[in-house]
Amino acid sequence: MRTWHIGNFKITEVHELPIQVGLLDGLIAEATPEVVRGFDWMYPDYANEAGQTLWDIHSYVVDTGEQVVLVDAGCGNGKSYPMQPSFGGLDTRFLERLEEAGYGREDIDAVLCTHLHLDHVGWCSMRNGEGRWIPTFPNARLVLVRDEYERHTGLMTASEDDGSGVAVDVGEDRIARAFLADATSLSEQTKLIQEETFQPVIDAGLLELVPANAEVATGVRYVSTPGHTSAHHSVRLDSGGQSAFITGDFIHHPIQIARPGWSSQGDWDAEASAGNRRAFLESCAGTDLLVLGTHFTGAGAGYVVADGDGYRLTQVKPEAAGARTPRAVFSTQS
């Protein structure tokens, strides 16, 4: 189990599952096997010998000493995901791994989701002994960015209200196009997520909607990184003069650090996604900002340094000697 320390904060990665190799081939269209094999630093952590990109799904527990915050909530167990069946009906040891990391369900004070795609929200609820969906973390506020929550709920209601949902739905969320979906299945999928995952939290009075770039706990802040979805937010951590940045799907795979202009087929706005990545990587290259990737395999995190026409992730912390301070990086947009 990987852990990192940022000032007084302890960050623990809690693994949920590897994504089946090949499932996401082509998601980043430019990253063909030949091209991927040309980036040495993809190996062995982020690609296989066939040039296929590697992905997994995990959450981060951020223990600030005052609050325990879970960032992203994976797929969850036993969920109904007709839009992405391989992520549905799971029975993983996620909660046991959380225990092994030293945290019970009741220890989590807040849950943050970078965006509300099904692989980032699932553990907000679980089935109890009677099979009823209940909040997994009974003492946790589910703190979501209001715009992102409204984007999600809009996918449910657009089709119901005016029958024009086909164009609205597919245009709003290209992941639907990337994965088999027509508008109906996206709308139906969204309703299922609402019913199984968010409604139990709402019923328990635990949902809290916050503005863009909100600080959720001392040193734990949402940072607007739109592109993958229209209101996608990464999460920035600051403690004791050190900082970390949890990407969410703003950087979907490390190959997008090598070539920030390569967006994912699942992005809502590929250009916004690319523009934000360029600005972010430019601003943090050579700094000691620790970048943690929500779908990154292998080392799963590192520091960004310039590399030819792009950047790379390194495990070696840039020395303080002249290193630019990352303090202004994507931190003061509110």
CB of 84 to Zn ion, least distance (A): 10
CB of 327 to Zn ion, least distance (A): 28
> In terms of CB distance, is 221 or 228 closer to Zn ion?
228
Q: Of 58-66, 67-75, 115-123, 127-135, which part binds Zn ion (CB under 5 A)?
A: 115-123
Task: Tell me how crowded residue 192 is: count the other CB atoms within 10 A of its CB.
Answer: 18
Residues 266-295 that bind Zn ion (CB under 5 A): none
Q: Of 7-15, 101-109, 116-124, 208-216, which part binds Zn ion (CB under 5 A)?
A: 116-124
CB of 298 to Zn ion, least distance (A): 17
Asked if 119 is part of the footprint of Zn ion (rule: CB under 5 A), the reply reads yes
Residues 229-258 that bind Zn ion (CB under 5 A): 249
> In terms of CB distance, is 109 or 249 closer to Zn ion?
249
Cβ atoms of residues 113 and 207 within 8 Å: no
Q: Which of 77, 75, 135, 133 is nearest to 111 (CA)?
A: 135
Count of residues engaged in binding Zn ion, rule: CB under 5 A: 2
> In terms of CB distance, is 119 or 147 closer to Zn ion?
119
Contacts of 45-53 with C-beta under 8 Å, sequence gap 24+, read 45/254, 45/296, 45/297, 45/298, 45/299, 45/300, 46/253, 46/254, 46/255, 46/296, 46/297, 46/298, 47/255, 48/21, 52/21, 52/22, 52/25, 53/24, 53/25, 53/27, 53/28, 53/253, 53/255
CB of 151 to Zn ion, least distance (A): 15
Which amino acid is present at 308?
Answer: G
Residues 134-163 that bind Zn ion (CB under 5 A): none
Distance CA 289, CA 293 (A): 13
> In terms of CB distance, is 287 or 294 closer to Zn ion?
294
- Token pair belonging to 170: 């597919």
CB of 109 to Zn ion, least distance (A): 24
Q: Collapsing DSSP states into helix, strand and coil, what is residue 58?
A: strand
Distance CA 209, CA 140 (A): 13
> In terms of CB distance, is 242 or 263 closer to Zn ion?
263
> In terms of CB distance, is 10 or 120 closer to Zn ion?
120
Q: Of 62-70, 114-122, 151-159, 233-241, which part binds Zn ion (CB under 5 A)?
A: 114-122
Give the distance between the most distant pair of CA atoms in the chain: 60
> In terms of CB distance, is 63 or 249 closer to Zn ion?
249
Distance CA 145, CA 116 (A): 10
**From residue 195 to residue 224, what is the string marking binding to Zn ion with x (rule CB under 5 A)?**
------------------------------
> In terms of CB distance, is 59 or 287 closer to Zn ion?
59
Q: Of 73-81, 111-119, 126-134, 271-279, which part binds Zn ion (CB under 5 A)?
A: 111-119
CB of 119 to Zn ion, least distance (A): 4
Q: Collapsing DSSP states into helix, strand and coil, what is residue 310?
A: strand
CB of 263 to Zn ion, least distance (A): 14
Q: What DSSP line would sit under 201-234, residue for residue?
A: HHHTT-EEEE-TT-EEETTEEEEE-TTSSTT-EE
Q: Which of 63, 85, 62 is nearest to 75 (CA)?
A: 85
Cβ atoms of residues 158 and 164 within 8 Å: yes
* Interaction site with Zn ion (CB under 5 A): 119, 249
